[in-house]
Amino acid sequence: MSNQLTIHDLRAYQAGLLSKAEQHRIERALLEDPFYADVLDGLDALQQAGMSLTEQTAELKEVLHERVHASATKQRLMPLWVASAVASIMLMLAVAIYMIYFYQPPFKAVDPTKPMVFEVELTPVHEQKLPEVYQQEFAAFVKASRRPEVAGAGQVIVTLDVTDRGEISSVTIRKSLDAAHDQEAERLVRAFRKWPSGKQEVQIDFP
């Protein structure tokens, strides 16, 4: 049997018109839900005040309406709280997406008076050994063009920087013999006009 009570149940209980089983059911409901006890007390007060049955019923309906309205208000609070939490989460997500995809840091002006420094890694250029055909041709050139006043045998090794047009841009003595032979070696390599482009290592042998 259901423990939900009606006004008629409470009136019948108040008037003593119920069986023992029904009285026990109503008394149990009064213990479990204080609201029913309050309504029963209200019935007693209305009866003592001499109100008619119609007036008592209208008063009880108003009390029940207020109770139902208060219960509905409590139930609506949870959806509002949930909506607020969802709105906060969506706001945080929107801010995070903006910071990741759309935010640009403020432009930092460059001081025109301060020199800009660039780091450039230079790859060293290694000299390549002169091909054999050039060595042979240059040896014949040395033999034919060597100045007789530079006497003495020995070897001088030089490094040449030759442009794409075959012009010598620099001569570096890598292995020296003496001042006279070094000068003669530089004169000979500059006089020879058939150097390949690039950095070349040339060996000059004085017989």
pTM beyond 0.85: the answer is no
Strands 154-162 and 168-175: antiparallel
Backbone angles phi and psi of 5, in degrees to 5? -110, 150
Under 8 Å between Cβ of 162 and 131 = no
pLDDT of residue 65: 65
- The CA-atom distances, in angstroms, between 64 and each of 3, 71, 81, 164 are 17, 11, 27, 107
Cα atoms in the Cβ-side hemisphere of radius 13 Å centred on 103:
8
As a whole number of angstroms, the distance between CA 151 and CA 35 comes to 134
What's the domain count of the chain? 2
pLDDT of residue 54: 63
pLDDT along the chain (207 residues), means of 10: 72 86 88 82 71 61 64 55 76 78 66 62 56 81 84 86 88 90 89 85 84
Which of these three, 44, 76, 95, is where a domain ends?
95
Residues 75 and 144 occupy one common structural domain? no
pLDDT of residue 76: 52
Residues 89 and 17 occupy one common structural domain? yes
Helix orientation angle between 34-48 and 20-32, rounded to the nearest 10 degrees: 110
44: its two tokens? 């007693």
In a domain, 165, yes or no: yes
In a domain, 101, yes or no: no
Residues 27 and 71 occupy one common structural domain? yes
Residues 69 and 14 occupy one common structural domain? yes
CATH of the domain at 178: 3.30.1150.10
Lay out the sheet containing 128-129: strands in order across. 128-129, 198-206, 154-162, 168-175
Percent of all residues in the chain with a pLDDT value above 70, rounded to a whole number? 68
Q: What does the pLDDT look like over 144-181, one tens digit per residue?
A: 888 888 877 888 998 988 898 888 889 999 899 899 88
Number of residues that make up the chain: 207
Residues 64 and 143 occupy one common structural domain? no
Place of tokens 């040449």: 160
pLDDT of residue 173: 92
- Residues pairing with 171 in the sheet: 160
Residues 15 and 80 occupy one common structural domain? yes
